[in-house]
Amino acid sequence: MSEPAPEILAAFEAAKGFMPVVEGLALFEAATEAAKLGLPLLEVGTYCGRSTILLADVARRAGTVAVTVDHHRGSEEQQPGWEYHDESVVDPEVGLMDTLPTFRRTLRKAGLEEHVIAVVGRSPQVAKVWGGQLGLVFIDGGHTDEHATNDYEGWASKVASGGLLLIHDVFPDPEDGGQAPYRIYLRALESGDFEEISVTDSLRVLRRLG
């Protein structure tokens, strides 16, 4: 099993974000396998860069790059009045969330800035102009059906043969969480293009066939 160095794991644990360590270790292991293809590793939904640390460290080791796609204005559940709102990442000048400065500081503290390309924009728009294949796509963006579907339709087809599609916050039981990630996970399996290779709590790892 591939594991991050202690200092990388410590940086991950110190970063602002929501991914538990056990899922982070599964992400790291999957990314290490996917990086053998020599293609970029892309995540949709960056927030403050907690999971980016792991992808960037894998990219550094493999001689490739991690790409992050996020508008950095926060997802639905991070807006004022919602459970995951964090006032410390609100831009006081415009009154909107802006996680980009925190994200950049996170990468700098971890010494990983040069191994990440941060794309600031909406996932469907970025997907339309992305022309290359990817070794890994990690979908961890908005949890409405609209956003999850857009992420899946925009990026799943760009996973190279043998590459990995990861979907976070997959909860088969509606009492555990929103169902949109679960629905795109089922859609990926039903497409016949992917096979599931691991399950770690709410993280699903699928390999592209053919």
| Catalytic residue ranges | 143
**Cβ-count burial 154-181 (b if 16+ within 10 Å, e if not):** bbbebbbeebbbbbbbbbeeeeeebbbb
**N-to-C CA span, the chain:** 25
Closest CA to 130 of 47, 49, 178, 68: 68
Cα-Cα-Cα-Cα dihedral of 131, 35, 144, 124, to 10°?
Answer: -10
Cα torsion angle, 87, 89, 93, 94, sign? negative
